[in-house]
Amino acid sequence: MVLVFIKALKSVAMAHALTPLAGCAAGLGLVFNGFLRGVAYSPELEDILFSHTMLGFALIESFMVIAVGVVGLIYSY
């Protein structure tokens, strides 16, 4: 009975740890939205805007990888 309770607590902890992934998805949408709007307003700056967009994408993606790693640690212990 105790093992079932521990398994349930791990599942709840994983759900709470994965909640920030929704924010990461929204953040990625905002980053690429800003890129498309910026290119629409000034197409000559596309290369600079693209490099800044990829930097933002990498930062958000690294946070997502860390969050998934934390979930793996929560589930394994």
Name the CA radius of gyration of the chain, rounded: 18
The per-residue pLDDT for 37 is 97
CA torsion 39→43→48→49, rounded to 10°? 0
Between CA 1 and CA 5 the distance in angstroms is 7
The per-residue pLDDT for 40 is 97
The per-residue pLDDT for 18 is 83
Provide the token pair at 24.
């990461």
The per-residue pLDDT for 25 is 93
Domains detected in the chain:
16-76 (1.20.20)
Query: In which residue ranges of the chain is pLDDT below 50?
Result: none
Provide the token pair at 42.
């000034």
The per-residue pLDDT for 14 is 82
The per-residue pLDDT for 73 is 85
The per-residue pLDDT for 76 is 80
Concatenated DSSP letters of 31-42: HHHHHHHHHHH-
**What length is written for the chain?**
77
